[in-house]
Structure 1
C-alpha cells in the first residue's frame, strides 16, 4: 500500500466513523470493504484477473457463510439484501469500464458487463443449491476446508502457481509461454483463507456465533486488515461491530497516534533500513563479516518495523470505525527467550496455529499414543507447527528451514528451562545476577532470531549456508 492510497483509506474510515451510525455503519463498512479490495488488488498480465481475484474472495466468503450458518440462521431478508448489495457493487465496479477516462477502480478494464451478470447469476444458483443440500452436513464443511487449503497450497507454490497461470492464459487465449508465478498475485488471500478456516473449524466445534451474511463478509474482507492482518477472532470482531459507536475526539487522537506511529515505522524506519538490509543480491557481494552482521541486524529491524507499522496503521483505522483490533507485536526483540518472543511476534498468527493445529495435535498424541514420552510430543508439536508457519509464507526449502529453526529452538528452550528451573529458584535473592542473566538471555534470543532471518530472506539453502559461514568468519 502506497502512502497516497493509505491517506485515502484513512479519509474513508473517518467519513464512515463520522457519518454512519447504527446499522448504517455496517452497510458502509460492507460497501467500503468491497470497493477497497478491488481498488488495492495489484494488476496482472492475465486478462481481467485483477477483477476476478477479489470477486472470488467474495464468493469464497459467501459460500463459507452458507456452510457455517446454523439452523436458526438470522433473518432471510437481511441476508438476501446483503447479497444483493454485494452484487450491485460488483456490477457498478464492472460498469466503470464504460466511463472512458474515469475508468477504472481495478488496475485494468473489467470484463464486459454481460459476463459479470452471467457470472453473478451462476453463483447465485449454485449458492441456492448449496444452501439447500449442505445444511447440517459436516462433510461439506470438511470438503470446503480441504478446497481452501488446496487453493492456498497452489498459491504458495511457485511451480503450481505457474501451472495455474498457464491454464488461465490458455483459457483466455493468451501466450502460455509467458506464464509466470508472478502472474497470480491474489491480494489478501493468506489472511482471507485463515479467517475462513477459523470460522469453518469453529462451526464444527460449536463455537461459531450466529452471523448474518453482512456481518460475515465484513469480517472476512474488513479493509484495514485485508492486506496484512491482524487475524481477529470472529467472536471479538462481531462484538465490536454490534456495539453502538460515535466517533469522538478520543477515538481520533488514539487512532491518529497509532497511524502516525505506523507510518513512521513503515515509511521512514523500515524503508530506510531496506537500503542496507540483507537481501539475495548484497548477500553474495559483501565479504566483510562486520558489514554482513550490520545487514542482518538491519533486516531484523526492517521486517519488524515494516510489519508492526502496518499493524499500527490497521489498529488506528479500526479506532475510526469502532473496531478494536487485537495487538500483533509487543516489543518482541526485548524478550528473554524464544517462547516469549513468539508470544509477542505476529501474535494473532501464532495464536491461530496454536489453537487450530498445535493444541489439537498434542492432545491427540497424548490421548491416542500414551506410550510416547511428553518431550517427544512437545518436539513433534513445536517442530511441525513452525514448519507450517514457515510454509505459510511460501512453499520453499528456506521457509521450511526457517520454521524448523524456530521449532527446534523452542524445544531446546523448553527442555533447558525445565532443567534449570530448580537451579534458578533462588535468583530473586540475587538481583544483580538476575539482571545480568536477563540481559544475556535477551541478547542470545535476539541473535538466534536474527540468524533465522537469513533463512527467511534468502532464496535457497546454498546461499543461506554460505552467508552463515561468512557471518562467523569461516569463509
Structure 2
C-alpha cells in the first residue's frame, strides 16, 4: 500500500494533478462536483494514513466523531435559547482536551500521543475551537454537518495549515467561482506551487540540508571545547541559517497547500507576507504564519482582553495588554511543546512586543525629536530581523543540545 505524504516529492504532485483534473474541468465550466471533491479528499487522506500510518487514520476518524459530538451538541443547546458561560467553557475545554493530552504526553509514563497524536491534530483543534466560539458569538448561525466535515478534512491544509475560517470556507464551498475568477485562481495556484518548489526544494534544501548540519557540527565542536557557552561565528551562522531554513521550508509547504486549494476553487488564505521586511516585532507577527497568529490574536488575546475588561480584573489598559501578550505567547510556546526552549521562546516574543509597544508610545509622544527616514526604517528592519532570528535560535532547541547535552 502506497503511503503518500503531502508535498514531499514530484510523484505526489503528479498524482495530485491527475486526481484534480476532473474537478478543474468542472470548475472551469462553472460546476463544483462536491461528491468528487469528497472522494478526492477521502482518497488522499486514505493514502496519507495508509501503510504503517494506518493507526493515525483510525485516530483521525475517532477525533472527528468526537468533535462532531461536541460541536453539534453545543449547537443544539444554543438553539434552545440557552447560552450558559459554564456550558461554553466546558465545550471549549472538551474540544481542546485531545490536543492538550498530546502536548503533555512526554511528561507522563504512558505515551498518550500514540493513542491520539495523529498529524494535523493541532490545526483541526484550532478549527473546532473557532467554530464553537463563533457559534456562541452568533457570528456563525448554524453549522452544516457536510460542510463542517469538508472544512475539517480539507486535505490540502490538514497537516500544517493554513488555518481557514469556517464562514470563509463555507462561502467558497457553497458556490463555484465564475470562469474569470477560476482562471485567476489557476494562475495564482500555479504561481504558488512553483514558488513553493523554489522555496522548499531548492532554497530550503540549501539552507537545511547543505549548510545547517555543517554549521551545527562546527558550533557544537567550538561550544563543547569551551564549556558550551562561547559565542562563535558558527553559532551565529547557525542562527541565521536555521531561520532561513525554517522560513523557506514552512513557507514552501504553505504555498503548496494554498496553491492546491486554489485549484480546487477554495481561496485558502496565505500564511506568509514577506516577514523579513518587518519594521518591528508586531509587524512581524502580522506577516509570519499569519493564520496562526491571527487565530491566537482573535481567540486568545482578544478574548482574554474583553473578559478582563468586563470583569474589571485589570483597570490599566496598558498593563492589561501586556498581560494579554504574555498569556498569548506563553500559550503559543506551550502549544509548540512543553520544553524550556519553546516556553522561553514564547516569553521572549511577549517581552519583545511589550518593549516594542513601550517604544511606540514613547516615539509618538516625542515624535518631534525622533528622526524618521529611510535610514531609521532600515535600522528598524535590521534590528527586527536579528531579534526574530535570535528567537528562532531559542526555538530550534540547538542551545539545549549545546549547553545541556
Tell me the TM-score normalized by structure 1: 0.73
* CA positional deviation for 1:273: 0.9
Stretch of structure 1 that moved more, 440-449 or 205-214:
205-214
Change in Cα spacing, 1:137 to 1:445, as seen in structure 2 (3 Å) is closer
Question: CA offsets per residue over residues 212-239 of structure 1, 9 Å max, x none?
Answer: 2111111111111111111111111111
1:150 aligns with 2:158: no
* CA positional deviation for 1:335: 0.6
* CA positional deviation for 1:246: 6.0
Counterpart in the other structure of 1:440? 379
Counterpart in the other structure of 1:294? 237
Question: What is the aligned counterpart of 1:264 among 181, 198, 203?
Answer: 198
Q: Distance in 2 between matches of 1:311 and 1:345?
A: 11
Secondary structure of the equivalent of 1:415? helix
Do the aligned partners of 2:342 and 2:395 also contact (CA within 8 Å) in 1? yes
Do the aligned partners of 1:266 and 1:307 also contact (CA within 8 Å) in 2? yes
Q: Distance in 2 between matches of 1:64 and 1:11?
A: 37
Do the aligned partners of 1:41 and 1:54 also contact (CA within 8 Å) in 2? no
Counterpart in the other structure of 1:209? 141
Do the aligned partners of 1:14 and 1:320 also contact (CA within 8 Å) in 2? no
Secondary structure of the equivalent of 1:163? coil
Q: Distance in 1 between matches of 2:20 and 2:175?
A: 17
Q: Distance in 2 between matches of 1:339 and 1:452?
A: 14
- In structure 1, list runs of 5 or more residues that go unmatched: 74-133, 166-180, 468-475
Counterpart in the other structure of 2:228? none
Q: What CA RMSD, in Å, does the superposition of the two structures yield over aligned residues?
A: 3.1
Change in Cα spacing, 1:191 to 1:17, as seen in structure 2 (3 Å) is same
The correspondence of residues 129-148 of structure 1 with structure 2, limited to 5 A, is 142-148=89-95
1:53 aligns with 2:59: yes
Do the aligned partners of 2:341 and 2:400 also contact (CA within 8 Å) in 1? no
Question: What is the aligned counterpart of 1:222 among 124, 148, 154?
Answer: 154
1:325 aligns with 2:268: yes
Counterpart in the other structure of 1:273? 207
Q: Distance in 2 between matches of 1:55 and 1:273?
A: 37
1:35 aligns with 2:6: no
1:455 aligns with 2:394: yes
Counterpart in the other structure of 2:227? none
Do the aligned partners of 1:67 and 1:141 also contact (CA within 8 Å) in 2? no
The correspondence of residues 29-428 of structure 1 with structure 2, limited to 5 A, is 29-41=37-49, 49-69=55-75, 142-159=89-106, 163-165=110-112, 185-245=117-177, 249-275=183-209, 276-277=211-212, 283-287=219-223, 289-369=232-312, 372-425=315-368
Do the aligned partners of 2:219 and 2:232 also contact (CA within 8 Å) in 1? no
Tell me the TM-score normalized by structure 2: 0.85
Question: CA offsets per residue over residues 161-193 of structure 1, 9 Å max, x none?
Answer: 76145xxxxxxxxxxxxxxx6786401111000
- In structure 2, list runs of 5 or more residues that go unmatched: 1-5, 224-230
Stretch of structure 1 that moved more, 306-315 or 26-35:
26-35
Q: Distance in 1 between matches of 2:351 and 2:403?
A: 18
Secondary structure of the equivalent of 2:270? coil
Change in Cα spacing, 1:153 to 1:283, as seen in structure 2 (3 Å) is farther
Q: Distance in 1 between matches of 2:265 and 2:108?
A: 38
Q: Which structure has the bigger radius of gyration?
A: 1
Counterpart in the other structure of 1:76? none
* CA positional deviation for 1:426: 7.1
Secondary structure of the equivalent of 1:50? helix
Q: Distance in 2 between matches of 1:12 and 1:24?
A: 15
* CA positional deviation for 1:377: 1.2
Q: Distance in 1 between matches of 2:15 and 2:70?
A: 30
Secondary structure of the equivalent of 1:291? helix
Change in Cα spacing, 1:68 to 1:38, as seen in structure 2 (3 Å) is farther
